[in-house]
């Protein structure tokens, strides 16, 4: 195919053209989104008076909603053989909610807008990850996903940093900050102009601006969307172990409240988020490159250990330096798992189920995060952060053990 050959041959800064521009998309989207997300715990608890369990639940529910949609959008993307179309819709929907957050006056409105934002994420992530996979050779998957996750997190670094700088200048006006973030989000959608489809279909009925591969979406197909029956045993066990580990990983919005608990002011929330994301940026691409050489499973095990170390720091120590160290290890954990999990998942599924496979991976992460937010948030509200992090450590250890046992030969190069 001409489009596919052209885009796989062109490189920008050593990266495939599509990979480079999808990184730019994520950079601006997360720059915009994390300006809001980094201050949301403070906005909810200080301005709206929300308890910790609500802070965790709103994030966990939104991510779980996105996860279910990622399965459907992945299936739909594989069905219509279109990636960019769904990705643009998803990014546009998320960006549009940021302006309306400036008008939110209660928990319910924030909850609704956060859910709509995650609907956009649910529509875009699986098709986008599949597009990255289709844009590169198999030996470049780790590097490409590492770059994408790094650019994603550069935005996550710039977002909190911008919030730290801008909030004092606008007299802590959260609503004005949300409007500024909305304007930045527009650049993410605009960057899609440079992204090209890699696998255009031939013939079929219309679906918006796309064509269906066959007779369209049949009612009987819907029964298969949420079924793993057609996937390999190796992929199923991988998804199961990721789900178990995720039961111990509390949403970042909840984890960030630890900085307030040890006596730091609201300024510390975006600062801790900045520290975590900076660690991610520094290690995401190296982790991806190393995984291409030694295998994804080894890197994932190291990442899971980093998360356990982070939670031990946050559970045991109340000194500000150890709390900072804990957030650095959270960043290391994300750097060694976010992109690497996607790269490994893409190798464990057939090409015709590439996007749907990414959807199941994201669903495992999102649903487990929802459950963790409810359990961990409830423990935090009733007994404090220490017991909540102990719960997280316990589930992560079980998850790590499950990953090693359920995935044969974890030290073998993939």
Residue 269 CA to its chain's centroid (Å): 19
What integer pLDDT is reported at residue 93 of this predicted model? Answer: 92
Range of the domain at 346: 2-213+231-406
Query: What residues have CB less than 8 Å from 278, skipping those under 6 apart?
Result: 157, 331
d(CA 365, CA 39): 23
Q: What is the pLDDT of residue 144?
A: 85
Residue 133: CB atoms within 10 Å: 27
413 occurs within a structural domain:
no
H-run or E-run covering 207? strand 206-207
- Print burial letters for 69-99: b (CB count within 10 Å at least 16), e (below 16): bbbbbbbbbbbbbbbbbbbbbbbbbbbbbbe
Q: For residue 412, what is the enclosing H or E element?
A: none
**The pLDDT value given to residue 212:** 40
Q: Can you tell me the distance from the alpha carbon of 306 to that of 329, in angstroms, rounded to the nearest whole number?
A: 6
Whether 367 is in a domain gets the answer yes
Span 4-18, mean pLDDT? 68
pLDDT tens per residue across span 79-89: 888 888 889 99
- Alpha helix segments (H runs only) across 81-106: 84-101
Residue 385 covered by a domain: yes
- C-alpha dihedral (167, 170, 171, 173), degrees to nearest 10: -80
Q: What is the pLDDT of residue 264?
A: 61
| DSSP strand pairing (11-12 vs 15-16) | antiparallel
The least confident of 88-92, 113-117, 201-205 is: 201-205
CA atoms within 13 A on the CB side of 292: 17
pTM of the model: 0.69
Does 225 fall in a domain? no
Q: Say if residue 3's pLDDT is above 80.
A: no
Nearest to 134 by CA among 280, 5, 276: 5
Q: How far is CA 248 from the centre of its chain?
A: 16
Q: Considering the domain boundaries, does residue 106 fall inside one?
A: yes
Q: Check pLDDT > 70 for residue 221.
A: no
Q: What is the arithmetic mean of pLDDT over 344-359? A: 80
CB neighbour list of residue 351: distance below 8 Å, 6 or more residues apart: none
Instruction: State pLDDT tens for residues 267-324.
Output: 667 788 888 888 887 887 788 788 888 888 889 999 999 999 999 999 888 788 888 8
CATH code for the domain in which residue 95 is found: 1.20.1250.20
Angstrom distance (rounded) from CA 147 to CA 292: 13
Domain count, the chain: 1
Whether pLDDT at 348 is above 80: yes
In whole angstroms, give the CA distance from residue 58 to residue 296: 32
Longest dimension (CA), the chain: 63
Taking only the tens place, the pLDDT of each residue in 137-195 is 877 887 888 888 778 878 878 888 898 889 888 888 888 998 999 999 999 999 998 98
């Amino acid at each position: 195919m001409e489009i596919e050959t052209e885009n796989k041959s062109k490189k920008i800064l050593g990266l495939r053209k599509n990979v480079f521009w999808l990184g730019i998309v994520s950079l601006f989207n997360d720059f915009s989104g994390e300006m809001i997300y980094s201050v949301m715990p403070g906005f909810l608890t200080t301005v709206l008076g929300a308890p910790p369990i609500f802070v965790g639940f709103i994030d966990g529910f939104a991510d779980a909603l996105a996860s279910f949609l990622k399965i459907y959008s992945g299936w739909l993307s594989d069905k219509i053989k279109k990636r960019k179309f769904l990705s643009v819709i998803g990014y546009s929907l998320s960006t549009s909610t940021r302006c309306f957050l400036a008008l939110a006056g209660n928990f319910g409105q924030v909850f609704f807008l956060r859910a709509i934002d995650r609907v956009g994420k649910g529509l875009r992530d699986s098709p986008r990850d599949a597009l990255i996979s289709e844009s590169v050779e198999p030996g470049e998957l780790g590097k490409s996903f590492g770059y994408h996750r790094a650019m994603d997190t550069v935005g996550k670094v710039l977002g909190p940093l911008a919030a730290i700088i801008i909030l004092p200048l606008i007299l802590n006006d959260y609503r004005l900050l949300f409007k500024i973030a909305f304007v930045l989000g527009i650049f993410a959608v605009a960057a899609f102009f440079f992204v090209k489809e890699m696998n255009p279909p031939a013939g079929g009925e219309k679906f918006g601006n796309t064509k269906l591969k066959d007779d369209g979406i049949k009612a009987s197909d819907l029964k298969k969307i949420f079924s793993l029956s057609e996937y390999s045993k190796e992929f199923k066990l991988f998804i199961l172990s990721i789900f178990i580990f995720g039961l111990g990983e509390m949403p970042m919005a909840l984890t960030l409240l630890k900085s307030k608990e040890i006596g730091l002011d609201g300024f510390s929330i975006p600062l801790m988020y900045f520290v975590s994301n900076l660690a991610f940026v520094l290690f995401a691409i190296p982790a991806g490159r190393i995984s291409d050489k030694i295998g994804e499973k080894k890197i994932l095990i190291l990442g899971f250990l980093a998360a356990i170390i982070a939670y031990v720091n946050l559970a045991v120590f109340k000194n500000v330096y150890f709390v900072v160290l804990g957030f650095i290890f959270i960043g290391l954990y994300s750097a060694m798992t976010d992109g690497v999990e996607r790269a490994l998942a893409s190798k464990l599924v057939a090409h015709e189920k590439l996007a749907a496979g990414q959807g199941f991976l994201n669903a495992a992460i999102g649903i487990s995060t929802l459950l963790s937010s409810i359990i961990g948030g409830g423990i935090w509200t009733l007994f404090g952060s220490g017991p909540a992090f102990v719960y997280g450590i316990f589930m992560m250890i079980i998850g790590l053990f499950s990953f090693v046992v359920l995935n044969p030969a974890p030290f073998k190069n993939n």
